[in-house]
Amino acid sequence: MSTPEVTVIQDIRPLIAFVAPLLGVIGIVWAGEKRKNLRETFTFLVASIQATVVLSMVPLLLSGTIVEFHIWQMFTHVPLLLRVDGFGLLFACVASLLWIATTVYSIGYMRGLHEHAQTRFYAFFAISLSATIGVAFSANLLTIYFFYEMLSVSTFPLVTHMQDKEARTGGRTYLGYLLFTSLCILLPALSWCYVWLDDGNVAMDFLADTGKVGNFSETTQIILLILFTFGFAKAGIMPLHSWLPGAMVAPTPVSALLHAVAVVKVGVFCVVRVYSDIFGTEVLQQLDGEDWMIGLACATILISSLIALSQDNLKRRLAFSTIGQLGYVILGATLATQQGIGGSVLHIAMHACGKITLFFCAGAIFVASGKKYVSELRGLGRKMPVTMGAFMIGSLSVIGLPPLGGFVSKWYLALGALDRGATWVVFVLLISSLLNVFYLLPVAVTAFFRNPADDSGSEIKEAPMACVIPLSITAIGCFVLFFISGPLVSMVGITD
Amino acid sequence: MENAIAWIFIFPLFGSVACAILGISNRKICYPIAVLSMAGSLWAGIETLRQVLSANDHTVSYLFGGWTLDAYPRGVGIEFHADILGILITLVVLGVGFLVSLYSKLPVEEETPGKEPLFYTLFLLQVTGLAGICLTGDAFNLYVLIEVAALTGYGLIAIGSNRAAAATFNYLILGTIGASLYLLGVGYIYIKTGTLNMVGIHDIIVAQGLADSATMQVAFVLVGVGILIKMAFFPFHAWLPNAYCNAPTTTSSLLAPLVTKVMIYVMIRMVLSVFGVEFSFESTLWTDVLPWLVVVAIVCAAVMALAQREIKRMLSYLIVAEVGYMVGGVWIYNYYGLIGSIFHVISDACMTLCLFLGAGLILRKAKTTHFDGLRGLFTKMPLTMTGFFIGGFSIIGLPPTCGFFSKWYLITGGMVSQRWEYMIVLMFSTMVMVVLFFRMIERIHLAVSESGENLGHGHGDLGLTDQQTRFDEGPLSMLIPLLLASAVVLVVGIYNQEVVSLIEIFLSDFNLPRGEGIE
């Protein structure tokens, strides 16, 4: 994504956005369990600082300025370099804004359930968000790998938060998949690029090295493509998706922000980066066998949607829905057209807002009623109208109806498919939207329109305000994203 | 200071003598003497590094006893010859020695009461021997210093329990065989070249074209196998786990990071500087054979490490696997592999130190290093566990610890030489290390027994008494060295570019393949 007249300036702001949460950890640990309110103030404060700093770079970017910050020289030719471009900034905005919402929500959720070790929870949450911003602003492959690993490790204590048997199983699957792929699949691919891209004299830079992979032989290109696609297992592409349902043992704020927004989106973001900025659209379109990747993404979308249909546990259903939606993002990248890739980056933002709403609702339902299964939700809509209303909006956005954000990104994905000349992909998109309808709408419909089997649970009412307010805001956000999609579209570099 | 390189040895050598003499009347004085001599020696080492870097040919030479090198072949008399590689490894030795000497106060008093003078005498001699190995420019003198280090090592291990004495005997047998083979090889070299000076040997090999000489080939094999035995390369590793597990805490913290690594240094020195690149890599079969032995070594050591249920024993097998990494890095024969090997010598010393210091603290507080006794240690001693796991993450190879960067260069080396078997085995052992360390984290962090039953009542209850989970850190004199060591692991990782650029200066003298022009 290189626009002709860009000016590059050196500025410390990307680093502040990355470091602020790390400094916040000190405050969080210092405040500790005894000064809960102070601790949460710290979390809220660093989240706000991060969001402010990230947002302050939007006008710069829209005026054609790219902000860079050189942290230090990591390898002989490869610096640890932060750069704020359209893709990264959009992702960073989404992650940091939703972190604020999640902070408020966590207060309601964690206190409502009297969870243990909340200090640890908030501390590692902050570290995870720091790593997420790092990924968003990374300017080359090694920088992105660095933050990617930081995220894998820092989320482990969050996934195993309950410290029991299920947590152990979930945690093992989680780390097993993520570290196996990053250390054994991704690292060789990086090493390959380091040695042979541009005669070993290479920065692996997303701006400078686009398309140089084209010098390799076809077989090498395909192998590299496969290694990169599967190496970022956080993207949840099948068959490397099972860690995500396993990670649902974590408290809901973690599932909401990390396993619907930060962690999984980091995975797909990395894949998009590699496809668009290391391979480049031209190389990919010429590459025979790249169509298989499109097929793989489509298979992931359809299969995961079918699995989601059969899940009764609400969080697991949402997890499989997430895998399907991540498939959309990968699909956009594999289409290798300007609109496809732009659409996939948009989808990161649109899906984030919709899916976090759904998870917030699932958590709010659990806090208010202790219910985890879709079949238990009958009649809940009347007792928790705001929550279930928000769930409805979130569902519609994920399905992709106007005037909600999800529509915009799906629209560009379809356009991208047509550009590539893959008409069948449009049908896959349609079928999958239908499947989305089948597995998401019944949740809200059951809650609103079916009467409860018995009178138990008549004392249920809305979750604490700290839970309800964030989920209402993100639900409204789904509308807002539709109406501000103009600047977003230009941010991701789609030119009509 | 003019002769800083000599001061590196004078401090610990005379320190050990002082310990032996003054310790008779006052046992308490040994600890400060040891710390001060290590600090002095470390300072002299840094000074020497500065001199090496400012010298034109990046070497500093010191002739003991005023001999000259004018005679041909070069070298009558003992030369100490510091180039960049030598002084880097020396600094690692001195740094580790300094941190361990700081750490040693309580463990030595408690584990070997009454033997402090003896212990510190051996300790300082050990460091002298190891530092000497790294700086000597003379092949026979190298043998002497290897024996100095080995003999003091036997003493340091045997000073502990009775089981340690038995383990020492094992070590003694294998160590002596290794050293004897090395000496035999040096004899062959002397017959053929007429000199013992390392630079001189190399000059003559080049000048007289000795690459095809059968005598030199035999010498190469003898020296090489001797060194492999001394560095505990699988299958010559049997002495190592028992020796390090049963040794006193301080001893294992000193020997585990250094002994095997210094022997790797000797191998690199012999291969590059003494026999030369053409001789070692082109006219012997080692480049074909050794990588496959490395594969076997790493797999076996990793699997054996998996089977252990005790921290120090597990770490010992990890060391054996790491030795495989470094030997492989040398014999895949290319520029990146050698950078990786040399950098891994440095980083492995740092992280092994971190882990053994941590294990010592765990042993002291939890009274056991068995996996079953670890539950709840994060709440009990958070700083210790943080330090310990920084070392663990480095062994796994997670950025930004130094272990990541050394592994990165090793993998890149395998890539350049297209030794896929070496790369795959590196991946395999990486995954084993992930299992090893995260299994420990699980044991510490979760309230689940090994067979998978919940031990607590949920909500973070670990099924322990308040007494067992109360904050109770180790003593500062042990904690600070651990935290310093873990900081070094991070700093060496973050500033790896500085270290690697020094290694690159060293390697620029040698004609190594870099794997250009492959698509």
Alpha-carbon distance B431 to nearest alpha carbon in chain A (angstroms): 7
Residue A333 domain-assigned?
Answer: yes
> What per-residue confidence (pLDDT) applies to A3?
47
Other Cβ atoms less than 10 A from the Cβ of A185: the count is: 19
A286 touches chain B (CB under 8 A): no
Q: Which of A149, A164, A184 sits opposite B399 (nearest CB)?
A: A149
Contacts of A188 in chain B (CB under 8 A): 411, 415, 423, 427
Chain B nearest C-alpha distance from A337 (Å): 26
Does A180 contact B at CB distance below 8 Å? Answer: yes
B348: Cβ–Cβ under 8 A, 6 or more apart, which residues?
A: B257, B261, B322, B325, B326, B403, B406
B32 C-beta neighbours (distance < 10 Å), count: 12
In-domain check, residue A341? yes
Contact list in A for residue B335 (CB cut-off 8 A) is: none
Q: Rounded to a whole number, what is the distance in Å from the CA of B418 to chain A's nearest CA? A: 10
Q: Which residues of B touch A75 (CB under 8 A)?
A: 405, 408, 496-497, 500
Question: What is the per-residue pLDDT for A2?
Answer: 44
> Is there a domain that residue A12 lies in?
no
The verdict on B411 touching A (C-beta cutoff 8 Å) is yes
Please tell me the predicted confidence (pLDDT) of residue B519.
41
Please provide the distance, in angstroms rounded to a whole number, between the alpha carbons at the two ends of chain A.
Answer: 15
Angle between helices B116-135 and B249-268 (to 10 degrees): 10
**B427: which chain A residues are within 8 Å (Cβ-Cβ)?**
183-184, 187-188
Q: Which residues of A touch B501 (CB under 8 A)?
A: 76
pLDDT of residue B72: 56
Chain-chain contact of A217 with B446 (C-beta, under 8 angstroms)? no
Question: B456, A163: Cβ pair inside 8 Å?
Answer: yes
Residue A463 DSSP label: P
A34/B contact by beta carbon, under 8 A:
no
Q: How far is B265 from chain A (nearest CA, A)?
A: 23
Q: Is B447 on the interface with A (CB under 8 A)?
A: yes
Query: A-chain residues within 8 Å CB-CB of B497?
Result: 72-76
Hey, what are B368's tokens? 């056991």
User: How remote is the C-alpha of A142 from its chain's centroid?
Assistant: 20
User: By the 8 A CB rule, do B265 and B89 touch?
Assistant: yes
CA distance A211 to chain B (A): 15
Q: Within the 368-407 window of chain B, which residues sit less than 8 Å (CB to CB) from chain A?
A: 393, 396-400, 405
Tell me, what's the pLDDT at B66?
A: 66
For residue A474, give how far its alpha carbon lies from the nearest alpha carbon of chain B (Å).
29
* Chain B partners within 8 Å of A145 (Cβ): 399
Cβ-based neighbour number of residue A8 at 10 Å? 11
* Residue whose entry in the numeric block shows the structure tokens 């020997």: B255
- Report the residue of A130, A159, A162, A179 to disrupt the B interface, i.e. the one with the largest count of B CBs within 10 Å: A179
The answer to whether the CB atoms of A116 and B519 lie below 8 A apart is no
Residues of A with CB below 8 A from B397's CB?
183
The pLDDT, as a whole number, for residue A1 is 44
Task: Measure in Å the smallest separation between the Cα of A9 and chain B Cα atoms.
Answer: 25
B459: contact with A, CB 8 A cutoff? yes
CA B309 to centroid of chain Cα atoms: 24
Query: Which of B427, B438, B445 lies nearest to residue A183, judging by beta carbons?
Result: B427
Strands A65-73, A7-10: parallel, antiparallel or unpaired by DSSP?
Answer: parallel
Cis before B117 (ω within 30): no
Alpha carbons A436 and A332: distance in angstroms, whole number: 18
Identify the segments of chain A with pLDDT beneath 50. Answer: 1-3
Is the CB of B445 less than 8 angstroms away from the CB of A160? yes
| CB-CB neighbors (< 8 A) of A146 in chain B | 399-400
Beta carbons of B15 and B58 less than 8 angstroms apart = no
Q: What is the pLDDT along chain B (519 residues), one digit of tens a residue?
A: 678 888 999 999 999 999 999 988 888 889 999 999 999 999 999 999 999 999 888 888 888 776 666 665 565 677 888 889 999 999 999 999 999 999 998 988 888 888 889 999 999 999 999 999 999 988 899 999 999 999 999 999 988 777 888 888 889 999 999 999 999 999 999 988 888 888 888 888 888 888 788 889 999 999 999 999 999 898 888 888 888 888 888 999 999 999 999 999 999 999 999 998 888 888 888 888 889 999 999 999 999 999 998 899 999 999 999 999 999 999 988 888 999 999 999 999 999 999 999 999 998 888 888 888 888 888 888 899 999 999 999 999 888 899 999 999 999 888 888 888 999 999 999 999 999 999 888 888 887 777 777 777 766 677 777 777 777 888 898 999 999 999 999 999 988 888 999 999 999 888 888 776 554
Q: How far apart are CA A496 and CA B379, in angstroms?
A: 57
Pairing between β-strand B59-63 and β-strand A79-84 as defined by DSSP bridges: unpaired
- Asked whether the beta carbons of residue A175 and residue B408 sit closer than 8 angstroms, the reply is no
Q: Taking the CA atoms of chain B, what radius of gyration do you get in angstroms? A: 23
Domain that residue A398 falls in: 290-496
Q: Exposed (0-12), middle (13-18) or buried (19+): which is B260, by Cβ within 10 Å?
A: buried
Comparing CB atoms, the residue among A150, A165, A191 nearest residue B448 is A165
List the structure tokens of B277.
């690149």
The whole-angstrom distance between B69's CA and the closest CA on chain A is 38
Distance from CA of B393 to the nearest CA of A (A): 10
Residues 342-401 of A with CB under 8 A from B: none
Contacts of A273 (CB under 8 A, 6+ apart): A87, A138, A144, A206
Is residue A348 assigned to a domain? yes
CA of A482, closest CA in chain B: separation in Å? Answer: 39
Enter the ipTM.
Answer: 0.88
Is there a contact between B427 and A74 if contact means CB atoms under 8 Å apart? Answer: no
Q: List C-alpha distances in Å: B119 to B8, B101, B105, B152, B355.
A: 20, 11, 11, 10, 22
Name the β-bridge partners of A73. A79
Q: Which residues of A touch B453 (CB under 8 A)?
A: 165
Contact between A162 and A60 under an 8 Å Cβ cutoff? The reply is no
A196 part of contact set with chain B, CB < 8 Å: yes
Tally A–B CB contacts below 8 A.
110
In angstroms, the separation between the Cα of residue A387 and the nearest Cα of chain B is 26
Task: Please report whether residue A406 resides in a domain.
Answer: yes
Q: Is A171 on the interface with B (CB under 8 A)?
A: yes
B55 DSSP 8-state letter: S
**Hey, is the C-beta of B367 within 8 angstroms of any chain A C-beta?**
no
- In b/e form, how buried is each residue of B119-139, taking b as 16+ CB within 10 angstroms? bbbbbbbbbbbbbbbbbbbbb
Q: Is this model's pTM higher than 0.95 or not?
A: no
Q: Which two tokens stand for residue A28?
A: 């969080």
Task: Quickly count: other Cβ atoms within 10 Å of residue A494's Cβ.
Answer: 21
Q: Which residues of A touch B430 (CB under 8 A)?
A: 183-184
Q: What pLDDT, on a 0 to 100 scale, did the predictor assign at position A117?
A: 82
- Alpha-carbon distances of B402 from A160, A299, B344, rounded to whole Å: 27, 40, 8
Interface check for A200 against chain B (CB to CB < 8 A): the answer is yes
Number of structural domains chain A divides into: 1
Looking at the DSSP assignment, which residues form a beta bridge with residue A140?
A: A205
